Amino acid sequence: DFNIGSAVAGGGHHQDTDEPEPFRTDPQYRRILAKEFNSVTPENQLKWEMVQPEEGEFDFERADEIIAFAERHGQDVRGHTLLWHSQNPEWLEEGEFTDDELRDHLRDHIHTVVGRYAGQIDQWDVANEVFDDGDPPQLRTDESIWLERFGIEIVADAFRWAHEADPEAELFLNDYNVEGINAKSDAYYDLVQDLLADDVPIHGFGAQGHLGLQYDIPGDVEENLERFDDLGLATALTEVDVRMELENDEPTEEQIATQAEWYEQLLDACLAVDGCDSFTVWGFSDQHSWVPHSFEGEGAPLIMDEDYERKPAYFALRDRL
Ligand code: XIL
């Protein structure tokens, strides 16, 4: 009953480069994706900029391919994401819309995308990263067109619209740095209670799980997931990777060993919580990870190396399942 998932690489930073999209071009990639995982998350292919690149013009080509693949292989799909401050198309970010027009765009987008995949996408990250890393955390009103204009109310709307479009889908809030108990996960804990009190259809809390060896792994992940579980929510690790600072572009054996321990600890925390039944790694091969593109000098965050050789982290996960 447990879902081990992977992000499916493509789009995003690949869009602006000549980098291959392995899902489309690399048979070995597809074999591993089909064999090792029973859940997939399109890494970029359901984000606004990919799905609605021009106003009112939807492009589902890449998302359709992934979802058909998942159907063929009996895999669940996590949909990512509907309301976020990042990877929005330029027309949306730069457009001069009235409040009503902007709100209508979000509603139409959610109805169209969630409705298209009703019955096929099992869980949706409806709202992603609504709080920043401040102490206390603030709503990202400076960065998000949605939160700037409408405040937290738009989050409740997004959940309601998603629920209208697919009453069966499990609807999640999702963020990073919320694995353990801290000011940011506290903010979500409060927000979830507010949403539930208002009868907003929210069903899950996702901790992304982007960790870095130069920081600490929180020791209270289980307790944190448990408190959301106690509110009646499903929980999930949605984007796990464990990056590291690389000397001469190569990880040391010690780094790779510690990485495996961290993967195992995160999985253990999830396995210990009843309603945590989904653990997704943000890709499987270091060859396609977003990390080297986004964190200078860091890399090697995933469970297989660039040649698809299984790393200790792979065996750490497999041996627990
Ligand atoms: C990242 C993708 O992995 C990259 O390919 C893309 O260029 C940028 O976005 N949190 C999230 C994910 O919720 O959507 C992000 O994915 C990583 C951080």
Give the CATH number of the domain where residue 258 resides.
Answer: 3.20.20.80
**pLDDT interval class at 148 (50, 70, 90):** very high
- Say how many Å lie between the CA of residue 290 and the centre of ligand 1: 7
pLDDT per position as a tens digit, 253-293: 999 999 999 999 999 999 999 999 999 999 999 999 999 99
- Say how many Å lie between the CA of residue 199 and the centre of ligand 1: 30
Annotated catalytic residues are 129, 239
What is the pLDDT at residue 18? 61
Q: How many folded domains does the chain comprise? A: 1
Domain that holds residue 198: 3-320
Q: Whose CA is nearest to atom 16 of ligand 1?
A: 43
**pLDDT interval class at 13 (50, 70, 90):** low
Do β-strands 170-175 and 276-281 pair in parallel, antiparallel, or remain unpaired? unpaired
Q: Which residues contact 274 (CB under 8 A, 6 or more apart)?
A: 229
**What global pTM score does this model have?**
0.98
Task: Check pocket membership of 12 for ligand 1, CB cut-off 6 A.
Answer: yes
Atom of ligand 1 nearest to the CA of 11: 5
- Say how many Å lie between the CA of residue 37 and the centre of ligand 1: 20
What is the pLDDT at residue 12? 67
CA distance 292 to 299: 5
Best mutation site among 237, 290, 298 for ligand 1, i.e. most ligand atoms within 8 A of its Cβ?
290
What is the pLDDT at residue 161? 99
Average of pLDDT values for 11-39? 84
CA distance 155 to 173: 9
CA distance 309 to 125: 31
- Say how many Å lie between the CA of residue 44 and the centre of ligand 1: 7
CA distance 105 to 100: 9
Nearest to 149 by CA among 184, 191, 102: 102
CA distance 123 to 278: 10
Q: Whose CA is nearest to atom 15 of ligand 1?
A: 43
Average of pLDDT values for 103-124? 98
